[in-house]
Amino acid sequence: MGVSLSDQALTHRSARGANNERLEFLGDAVVGLVVAELLYERFPKLDEGALTRMRAHLVCERGLAEVARALRLGERLQLGPGEQKSGGHRRDSILADALEALAAARYFESGWEACRGEVRGWFEPVLGGLRSDDFGKDAKTRLQEWLQARALSLPEYVLVDASGPEHAREFLVHCRVAARGLQTEARGGSRKLAEARAADAMITQLQAEERKANPA
């Protein structure tokens, strides 16, 4: 009996046999479409910019990994010996790719409507914790206001690296919140974009820690 697509979706390239890389390629589009549909329905008053920021927040690597953890995908991943030893089942990038690959597998195995319903079920709990007001503003402003509301010092942005040719520069930025001992990093085609992405990652991390400290 051959390996099912769902099993392949949870097989990292470090393991033997067919892996999830091609499924992840298609799953990225599947997840993006379903999440866009959910947001369009749930927030009818938000403009395109806010919806785009909200979608980016949900389908970024960290956001996808959190959904994968809620589904306990890490326990089902097939990894090579090296990744097993290094804790690959906990790594955001591996979890995010597996979630997208699983969406594609469900599409092939069950058809669009069944796949759509399942993926909606993955993300609907997350949508309940989103505040539309937060996404009407850029990430750096939202992070600053979040910290100020808790009487915490403002974040520090540090340009770590700028590489590549002049027409295709890539900037690496660290965002630090000293009061919480946290740091995120992000890359972008401009320093401004890299800072915005690092700020967005920091907001996600701070909110996750706050939820853990104050569970409902």
Residues labelled as active-site residues? 28, 100
Cα–Cα separations (whole angstroms), residue 59 to 34, 82, 120, 160: 11, 27, 13, 25
CA angle (191, 58, 41) in 5-degree steps: 125
The residues that bridge with 11 in the sheet, in sequence order, are 78
Q: Which ranges of the chain would DSSP assign to H, the alpha helix?
A: 5-9, 21-42, 48-59, 61-70, 81-85, 92-110, 112-127, 139-149, 191-213
The 3-state DSSP class for residue 214 equals coil
CA pseudo-torsion sign 200, 185, 79, 3: positive
Query: Measured between alpha carbons, how far is residue 147 from residues 117, 134, 155, 174 in Å?
Result: 37, 13, 8, 17
